Amino acid sequence: AAPLPDAVRVAVIGAGQAGLSAAYHLQRRGLESGRDFALLDENPAPGGAWQHRWPSLTLSNVNRINDLPGLPMAQAGIAADSIRASAAVPAYYAAYEERLGLRAHRPVSVDRVREDAGALRLELRTPAGPGALRADAVVSATGTWDRPYVPYYPGAAAFGGRQLHTHDYRSPGEFAGQRVAVVGGGISAVQLLQEIAQVAEVAWFTRRPPEFTDREFTPELGHAVIARVEERVRRGERPGSVVSNTALPLTPGLRAARAAGILTARPMFAALTGAGVVQGPGDARPGQTEAFDAILWCTGFRFRLDHLAPLRQREPGGGVRMDGRLATRVARDHRIHLPGYGPTASTIGANRAGRAVARELMELLGA
């Protein structure tokens, strides 16, 4: 591995879709990888969060993985039979870094980013021990995977069964013969419900009745959803998930699961007990306990921002106010970009974000 420089113009934290796209566009604009900009990633191997996705998530049941700029997945020489997302995408990113000469330093964790006499100082954890890197600007493309979100319900600590989040789900076999409560109204909840229902008895709990749509997810619909999230972050509000802003597309698989009665959502339970959950208002027996062996929280993720805490960028409500062409730039500090946050939290959004980030940073740095 190449040695880490002491100082760079731009530090890119995270080598997922967003960090790689930003790195590509910085390189295109004349910055040299490993000298003018450094790409740092905490994971031991290429692939961003995709290397951790559960085994049954395949290239055919993901929403869609957009190509990175400059090298489409189809040309990256990935084995045709590699369909597990957790293998195919990391293989693609590895080939991408290699072919485009993007040198990622890993595993390197950025614990803190601090103000340092007009520049920024990144405090690092590396295999060789603590380190530091000075940078004029920071692209924090740190994603959400390491920040699973579980809402608070009374009694959660008392529940004697297993509680896990989408983040820790591996396979339905773990639930064979059990009664499982799946919580959440997004695509992950629906996918995992269908899988687990093959081997276990499942119940689905959502805060709001889920909305299904026959409408094809057209580009226009996509733009409208993204525009709503973008408005929120430009006002400094928390982004909210893209799913919370759209309905569930009725794929043939979903239609079949609905016909089989698997996708019948119940109102959210009120609390947990040692043995299960207390049924909520609107359910069949409100206030009564219902036994479950496991609760699977498919309740989403938050963007990872803790390393930026010393820079005090959060608004009182917990969001970060963004500006710039695609709302990737922190309004309070134009040296910091967050591609993959809010409206750009998808592989296509992350791609576009990379270009906007590079353009705005080159303007800022006068490079």
Residues in contact with ligand FAD by CB under 6 A are 13-19, 40-43, 48-49, 53, 62-66, 109-110, 141-143, 145, 188, 301, 304, 307, 340, 346-348, 350
CB of 275 to ligand FAD, least distance (A): 30
CB of 125 to ligand FAD, least distance (A): 8
Q: Which residues 6+ apart lie within 8 Å of 95 measured at CB?
A: 71, 76, 77, 78
CB of 281 to ligand FAD, least distance (A): 30
Q: By CB neighbour count within 10 A (0-12 exposed, 13-18 middle, 19+ buried), where does 74 fall? A: exposed
CB of 274 to ligand FAD, least distance (A): 30
C-alpha 57/C-alpha 85 separation (Å) is 6
Nearer to ligand FAD, 62 or 365 (CB): 62
C-alpha 142/C-alpha 102 separation (Å) is 17
Nearer to ligand FAD, 9 or 53 (CB): 53
Nearer to ligand FAD, 120 or 278 (CB): 120
Do residues 175 and 149 lie in contact, with contact meaning Cβ atoms separated by under 8 Å? no
Helix (H, G, I), strand (E, B) or coil at 266: strand
Nearer to ligand FAD, 179 or 228 (CB): 228
CB of 146 to ligand FAD, least distance (A): 6
C-alpha 286/C-alpha 269 separation (Å) is 9
CB of 314 to ligand FAD, least distance (A): 16
Nearer to ligand FAD, 188 or 279 (CB): 188
Nearer to ligand FAD, 19 or 236 (CB): 19
C-alpha 318/C-alpha 143 separation (Å) is 17
| Nearest residue to 360 (alpha-carbon basis) of 328, 320, 332 | 328
Residues facing 328 on adjacent strands: none
The strand pair at 289-291 and 129-140 is best described as unpaired
CB of 160 to ligand FAD, least distance (A): 28
In the chain, helix, strand, coil percent, each to 5? 30, 25, 45
Nearer to ligand FAD, 192 or 278 (CB): 192
